[in-house]
Structure 1
Amino acid sequence: MKTKRNILFLASWFPSDKSLFDGDFIERHAKSVALIHHVTVIYVVSLDGISKIKKEEEQIDDLKIIRIYFPNKNKIQNQWTKFKLYLKEINSYPKFDLIHVNVTYPVGFVALYLKLVKKIPYVITEHWTGFLPQDPAHIPFVKLFLMKKIVDNSSYLLPVSDNLGNAMRNLGLIQRTKTIRNVIDFDIFNSKENTENKIPKFLHISNLTFQKNCDGILNVAERLWKNKYIFELHIGGNGDLSPFYSYKKSSDFTDKLILFGVLSQEEVAVKMNEANIFILFSRFENQPCVQIESFACGLPVLASDVGGISEVFPIGFGQIITSENEEELYQSLKNILENKVDFKSKNEIQLFAKENFSMQKIANDFDEIYKQILK
């Protein structure tokens, strides 16, 4: 009988009333680990519009999620309040066997304190693109120094891509490292029967930021439309759609540009099953969930060669192109529309996804690390 450990998940990002989609991939990691161990997620965050501390609890089998909201003040006061609330909540439980930090800064300070005071070991899963040289975010010296202290005292660093691990190492964030990737819920993302679209559908879903280079996608799509290629571009997500609506007003291709807003995971899966190819023309990435979710639906992906994308991209699962190279994207989509490209079958693509990104697979990967530390 396998011993169930008590694992504390601490997250710098997590879905909450402040942001429904912030760190949803961390929630999926927590659900995975809860297949094997008792997992308690504690997430403390400031919130506008409240006058007192508010606490919410959610129990799903062996996963307990606690969200604590407190009134938003100034930055320094918020950090101190957050730290005290974390410790107060954690101290109300019997001792945890291990702490799993998700995104080093700032919640890693809580784990560092508990390691020094209560001798509880911790591991770090990292998702932040800010460590990548392509990300315009600049890490101040003091912040980087503090991150090094947190990483130095951890037992393992678990980036979601090899590329991210190398980027952290180049910044002096050095620790025993193993890549453990994002996870897919196959109850939601799975391959349906083949649908024959009369008009090919290209799909892009993201937060629609500079990172995702949606302008580049539109530029290429407009060029294809002007050259008389027939297709629909479906684009949307949990970002600012106003520039896209402005584009529709001034474009001759409004009926071929389909915009949509925030979708549930179930609705994302439906979109993926209705599409012919997913476009991911990012400027920088770690290991994007939409890539492996597309694979879970048997959907080929046309993606930039950035971050960890190519690390899990078998031949025939789509095509890797150079980031920001619109000519290359144009030629790739043109070849698809002219039926000059063959992809692997839906079943082959989905099987790869199940073997590498299922909740049980990722849970087992984490469990191996936990056992090394706790033996």
Structure 2
Amino acid sequence: MKTKLNILFLASWFPSKKNIFDGDFVERHAKAVALYHKVTVIYVVGLDNISDVKREEEEIDGLKITRIYFLSKNKLANQWTKFRLYLKEINKYKRFDLIHVNVTYPVGLIALYFKLKNRIPYVITEHWTGYLPQDPSKISFTKSFLTKQIVKNASYLLPVSESLGNAINHLGYNCKTKTIRNVVDFKVFNFNNVESNSVFKFLHISNLTFQKNCEGILKVANRLWNEGFNFELHLGGNGDLKPFQEYKASSIFADNLCVFGSLSQQEVAEKMNQANAFILFSRFENQPCVQIESFACGLPVLASDVGGIKEVFPIGFGRVIESENEEELYSEMKNFLENKIELKSKSEIHQFAKDNFSMKKIADDFEEIYNEVLE
């Protein structure tokens, strides 16, 4: 029987009133660890239009979550307020055996403080694409210096993809590294209610940003419609829908384009079960949750060869193409429509996802790291 540890999860991103989708993958990691241990998540975030500090607690699946909100001001004031509120909240607890940081900066500074002060070890799970050379984000000198100190003092760096770990170490943020992937909730994502379609359905779900290259998907889809191919493109998510709604309003192919907004996880799974293929034409990625959630639903994927996508993409699960290569996207979408792609069965695709991304599998991976650190 495993000894239950007291684990503190600190996250730079986490679902909250500010953004219910922010860091939802961190929440799933915390739920996985909570299968074996007592996990406390503390998340401090600034809000506009709040008069005083507000503290909220909830418990989900044995996971204790404390969210603390404060009035957002300027960047420097916010960082100081966050630091003070984190310290006040964490000091209410007797002791944590280990701190698990999620997204190194800035919350890793809290873990570094408690390691230096109370000798509590910490590990880091990293999700941020900003370390990748394809991401246009710029890392300031101050952020780079502080991040190096945080990573250097961590017991382990646990990126969600090998490519991300290599990129971080290439920047000189050196630490013992092991890849531990994202989690799929198989209570939600499965293929028990698969629908057969009279018309082929491509699906894309994301935050609809520059990173996801939705305009490229739409451009290729428009070309195929003009050539007489009959299919539907379902495109949406928790981003700016206006450009796609405007296109739909003026297009002669409006009936073939379905634009939708934010979805719950259950609704995402339903969309996946209604589709024939998922498209992910990203310019850069780490290890996208929608890829492995599609696999959990037995849904083949057509994706860019960026980040960690190819690391977990067996033959027969769809196609991997060059990023921003619209000619290649066109060719492979056409192959899907003409049934020229050999695919594994839905049950085989689903089983691969279950073997590699279940909560128990990820919990076991973290357990191995925790035990090594605490020995």
TM-score by length of 1: 0.99
Amino acid in structure 2 at the alignment position of 1:338: E
Q: Contact 1:37–1:62 (CA<8 Å) still a contact in 2?
A: no
Q: Contact 2:31–2:61 (CA<8 Å) still a contact in 1?
A: no
After superposition, where does 1:6-45 map in structure 2 within 5 Å? 6-45=6-45
User: Quick one: distance in 2 between partners of 1:183 and 1:193?
Assistant: 21
Q: CA deviation at 1:140?
A: 1.2
Structure 1 match to 2:187: 187
1:112 is the counterpart of 2:83: no
1:157 is the counterpart of 2:162: no
Secondary structure (helix, strand or coil) at the match of 1:293 reads helix
User: Quick one: distance in 2 between partners of 1:332 and 1:344?
Assistant: 17
Structure 2 match to 1:96: 96
Instruction: State how many pairs are aligned.
Output: 375
Secondary structure (helix, strand or coil) at the match of 1:197 reads coil
Q: Superposition RMSD on alpha carbons, in Å?
A: 0.7
Amino acid in structure 2 at the alignment position of 1:69: Y
User: Quick one: distance in 2 between partners of 1:196 and 1:44?
Assistant: 45
Secondary structure (helix, strand or coil) at the match of 1:290 reads helix
Q: CA deviation at 1:61?
A: 4.4
After superposition, where does 1:310-349 map in structure 2 within 5 Å? 310-349=310-349
User: Quick one: distance in 2 between partners of 1:62 and 1:298?
Assistant: 29
User: Quick one: distance in 2 between partners of 1:316 and 1:68?
Assistant: 46
Q: Could you say if the C-alpha distance between residues 290 and 61 of structure 1 is closer, same or farther in structure 2, counting changes exceeding 3 Å?
A: closer
User: Quick one: distance in 1 between partners of 2:321 and 2:98?
Assistant: 41
Structure 1 match to 2:169: 169
Q: CA deviation at 1:141?
A: 1.7
Q: CA deviation at 1:248?
A: 1.1
Q: Deviations over 1:282-336 (max 9, x none)?
A: 0000000000000000000000000000000000000000000000000001111
Q: CA deviation at 1:193?
A: 4.6
Q: CA deviation at 1:249?
A: 2.0
Q: Deviations over 1:29-64 (max 9, x none)?
A: 000000000000000000011010001101134310
Secondary structure (helix, strand or coil) at the match of 1:142 reads helix
Q: Tell which deviates more after alignment, 354-363 or 55-64.
A: 55-64
Unmatched segments (≥5 aa) in structure 2: none
User: Quick one: distance in 1 between partners of 2:194 and 2:50?
Assistant: 49
User: Quick one: distance in 2 between partners of 1:371 and 1:4?
Assistant: 11
User: Quick one: distance in 2 between partners of 1:291 and 1:60?
Assistant: 25
Aligned-pair identity in percent equals: 72
Q: CA deviation at 1:194?
A: 4.2
Q: Deviations over 1:106-144 (max 9, x none)?
A: 000000000000000000000000000000001112211
Structure 1 match to 2:368: 368
Runs of 4+ in 1 over 3 A off after TM superposition: none
Q: Contact 2:205–2:237 (CA<8 Å) still a contact in 1?
A: yes
Structure 2 match to 1:70: 70
Structure 2 match to 1:299: 299
TM-score by length of 2: 0.99
Q: Deviations over 1:341-364 (max 9, x none)?
A: 121000000000000000000001
User: Quick one: distance in 2 between partners of 1:357 and 1:245?
Assistant: 35
Amino acid in structure 1 at the alignment position of 2:268: V
User: Quick one: distance in 2 between partners of 1:306 and 1:260?
Assistant: 26
Q: Contact 1:317–1:343 (CA<8 Å) still a contact in 2?
A: yes
Q: Contact 2:304–2:322 (CA<8 Å) still a contact in 1?
A: yes
Amino acid in structure 2 at the alignment position of 1:228: G
Structure 2 match to 1:202: 202
